[in-house]
Amino acid sequence: MIKLDDDTLRISIFPTLVYVMDLSDLTGELADLCENTNWADEKAHNQNYCSDTFFVLDSHLDLKNKFTERVNKILQSEFKYVTQFQMTTSWLTRTVPYGSIHKHRHTNSLWSTVFYFYEGCGTITFHKKRPAINVPTTDEFTNPDLGMHGDVFFLAEKGKMLLFPSELEHSVSFNDSDKYRYSIAMNWMPQGMCKVGDSSFNYK
């Protein structure tokens, strides 16, 4: 809540929450996993591609459990959910030199994470939903709280994992290096019965 003048308060409601988590202790295990990964299209050397499975951590249960424990710790603490969250998909991505990843969001998921385990991963950009009518503003308009047109950049630091709502559109910056950039993405859904009257559902 911000007091603008004697007659007016500005109140921000329904914030978009993004969590930055330090999982530096897992970078070595991910790097080893990445070295032994099969990629979806090895012939497409000039394109971005991902691991040949979207369940890459299902065969590395110890690592999968470590991520699950960290994610549930945050979600349970923040939202007091009565159910745990389960990892539904997980895949490695490889961005080629001078490549980028277009704006997108993750469907069939409630929360998503991306973990960076190599140096020099550039930035990830979260895009604010645009209003139906584009009203021009002055060049000096940079207020992130109002953010009618603002995008938010996060530095993709080694050892950091971002947890964010799956519906939040995001993209990956231009890879201006001569090396591949690697990361792992994961999607999360509730596990078990979510009882909400006639909208109850059992997420097995």
CATH number of the CATH domain containing 161 = 2.60.120.620
Separation between Cα atoms, residue 48 and residue 41, nearest integer Å = 9
Contacts of 166 (CB under 8 A, 6+ apart): 105, 106, 107, 109, 110, 111, 112, 187, 188
Q: Which of 8-12, 25-29, 135-139 has the lowest mean pLDDT?
A: 135-139
Whether 60 maps to a domain, the answer reads yes
- What are residue 97's DSSP bridge partners? none
Contacts of 42 (CB under 8 A, 6+ apart): none
Rounded to 5 degrees, φ, ψ at 71 are -65, -45
Whether 149 maps to a domain, the answer reads no
Summarised one tens digit per residue, pLDDT across range 74-84 is: 999 999 998 89
Whether 147 maps to a domain, the answer reads no
Whether 146 maps to a domain, the answer reads no
Question: Can you give the residue range of the structural domain that contains 54?
Answer: 11-122+156-203
Structure token pair of residue 48: 């971005």
Summarised one tens digit per residue, pLDDT across range 73-119 is: 999 999 999 889 999 999 998 877 777 678 888 999 999 999 999 88
Total domains in the chain come to 1
